[in-house]
Structure 1
Amino acid sequence: METAAPVSSSPRTVSEIYRDYSARRAGLIRALTSDVDEFYAFCDPEKENLCLYGLPNGSWEVALPAEEVPPEMPEPALGINFARDGMKRRDWLSLVAVHSDAWLVSVAYFYAARLNGNDRKRLFNMINDHPSVYESMVDRKQRENKSGGVDNSGKSRHSTKVGTLFYQSVCSLSKHYRFYRLVFYSLLQRSSDGKMKNSRSAVVEDGLEDDEEHSETLCGTCSGLYNSNEFWIGCDSCERWFHGKCVRITPAKADQIKQYKCPDCSKKSR
């Protein structure tokens, strides 16, 4: 447990990256389910910053982060042990699972950087056929609660995909972690010229924003109710939301804006 295990030969093809992802995922699920007591004991808050690694051989490890700066590959969440005793056990494990899902995707796409668009899409679809780490952990707990013991019925009955589950789990845990869904979905929703969409507007444009959060949101210009089928944009200064048509902002124009200020805030800053 001194340092993280070094990276072996890097996977290059879609099938190699997929196998690496599957093995790491299996290790993380094992740490948070069948080996959860052992994992919990390893994460002593009195120790230094610890990370949970899923390894390419299907095992898991709680270890210090890599010493190289920048690291050889994306690192998992740092210091997971510090929050262990300050949260309910279930909530802490859920938080670790969400971070683990984010790390798995980042590692897979780190290796996939040299793949073309079709291969990246194929890789995502292969990854998306698996339940997420978070879903696997929650599903196992629910089945154990229903049966009073371990259910050996096999695969999860849930058909929810990784992208949707990841989005929902982040929203349910804390608003602080919602930047993951923005990064995750803006990564997947590239415009035709290869540039990233504006993360805030892309989430609303694709209907992914939390319906409960915006069920009573009014346009700052016309006072119309929020509708996920329309393009909306949020002001980064006053945090009000607007119909794109009311402030004359199109999705294409939003792509070019790093920080949007509504007309009122623009006037105040002059």
Structure 2
Amino acid sequence: METARALAAPATSRPRTVEAIFRDFSARRAGLVRALTSDVDDFFDSCDPDKENLCLYGHPDGTWEVSLPAEEVPPELPEPALGINFARNGMDRRDWLSLVAVHSDSWLLSVAFFFGAPLSANERKRLFSMINDLPNVYESMVDRKQRDRSGVDSSGKSRHSSKPKQRTDDVRPKNSRAVAREEDDDDDEEEHSETFCGSCSGIYNASEFWIGCDICERWFHGKCVRITPAKADHIKHYKCPECSSSKKIRQ
């Protein structure tokens, strides 16, 4: 039986540079983070203990999938943890999700360095440094839970500030797309609740500082890209690390 979608891309289209491998890693990671945070109920329901051995896959397009492992022996790419569904009902839900998260982190690294095997030692070191700058899946899942708990005050109302606009309604400040902390209403909070950080894939939280890239138009936690509100005030056009790195390569 085949997986619902092939894990591996054709050899000719596989990522071969540090930047391409990092993009592949980031996209797969984003899918896994989403499975364990915003899509956690769907993920939980997909892991039926009565089914065969199931694996959680993150795909290069940023989506996730619970599916059977590849039939090829050995598989074309490293496989994620097998049989995650069997322990679902035998463990505390939070502990089970944490276990899936740490196995997912291990799998992401194995795939990245499978692709990175032909790289030089310095390139592999740079790839690891880029990967290590991102919160891992486990950290992102725990951070999301902590934000969910701390984002509600004693009256049960969420804290609010101005926030990233959706692509169809993107209004930028003159000097940058930094997000200031100021009061806003509940309807606006709900409208933008599905904005994800382009670095850690964490969902938008009004109590945090965000900044938008003027090149790729993705939004980021200030802490993920090491930009503070004070620093953002002096940035005319902000470029995220990935866009900055791509420009250097072209030069």
Q: TM-score range by the shorter chain?
A: 0.5 to 0.7
Give CA deviations for 1:34-55 in whole Å, capped at 9, x if unaligned.
Answer: 0000000000000110000000
Residue 5 of structure 1 deviates from its aligned partner by 2.2
Which among 54, 57, 62 is matched to residue 66 of structure 2?
Answer: 62
Q: Secondary structure at the match of 1:81?
A: coil
Runs of 4+ in 1 over 3 A off after TM superposition: 156-159
Q: Distance in 2 between matches of 1:12 and 1:114?
A: 8
Which among 26, 40, 43 is matched to residue 39 of structure 1?
Answer: 43
2:182 paired residue number: none
Change (3 A) 1:156 1:78: farther
TM-score by length of 2: 0.60
2:205 paired residue number: 151
Q: Secondary structure at the match of 2:147?
A: helix
Q: Distance in 2 between matches of 1:19 and 1:61?
A: 19
Change (3 A) 1:64 1:156: farther
Change (3 A) 1:2 1:44: farther
Give CA deviations for 1:164-212 in whole Å, capped at 9, x if unaligned.
Answer: xxxxxxxxxxxxxxxxxxxxxxxxxxxxxxxxxxxxxxxxxxxxxxxxx
Which among 84, 87, 98 is matched to residue 88 of structure 2?
Answer: 84
How do 1:244-263 residues align onto structure 2 when only pairs under 5 Å count?
Answer: none
Residue 156 of structure 1 deviates from its aligned partner by 8.1
1:72 paired residue number: 76
| Aligned-pair Cα RMSD in Å | 1.9
Residue 151 of structure 1 deviates from its aligned partner by 2.7
Q: Distance in 1 between matches of 2:224 and 2:112?
A: 23
Preserved contact between residue 102 and residue 138 of structure 2 (Cα < 8 Å)? yes
2:32 paired residue number: 28
How do 1:158-197 residues align onto structure 2 when only pairs under 5 Å count?
Answer: none
Preserved contact between residue 4 and residue 65 of structure 1 (Cα < 8 Å)? no
Q: Distance in 2 between matches of 1:4 and 1:110?
A: 22
Sequence identity (%): 69
Gap regions ≥5 residues in structure 1: 160-270
Residue 103 of structure 1 deviates from its aligned partner by 0.3
Residue 2 of structure 1 deviates from its aligned partner by 5.3
Greater displacement, 1-10 / 120-129: 1-10
Work out the number of aligned pairs and report it.
159
Q: Distance in 1 between matches of 2:25 and 2:90?
A: 31
Q: Distance in 1 between matches of 2:111 and 2:222?
A: 24
TM-score by length of 1: 0.56
Preserved contact between residue 136 and residue 156 of structure 1 (Cα < 8 Å)? no
Q: Does 1:3 align with 2:3?
A: yes
Gap regions ≥5 residues in structure 2: 153-157, 159-203, 211-220, 226-251
2:175 paired residue number: none
Q: Secondary structure at the match of 1:76?
A: coil
Q: Secondary structure at the match of 1:39?
A: helix
Change (3 A) 1:158 1:22: closer
Residue type of the alignment partner of 1:80: I
Q: Which has the higher contact order (CA 8 A, sep 6+)?
A: 2
Residue 143 of structure 1 deviates from its aligned partner by 1.1
Residue 23 of structure 1 deviates from its aligned partner by 0.3
Residue type of the alignment partner of 1:10: R
Residue type of the alignment partner of 1:78: L
Q: Secondary structure at the match of 1:125?
A: helix
Q: Secondary structure at the match of 1:80?
A: coil
Q: Does 1:13 align with 2:67?
A: no
Residue 10 of structure 1 deviates from its aligned partner by 1.2
Change (3 A) 1:28 1:20: same
Q: Does 1:111 align with 2:115?
A: yes
Structure number with the higher helix fraction is: 1
Residue 146 of structure 1 deviates from its aligned partner by 1.3
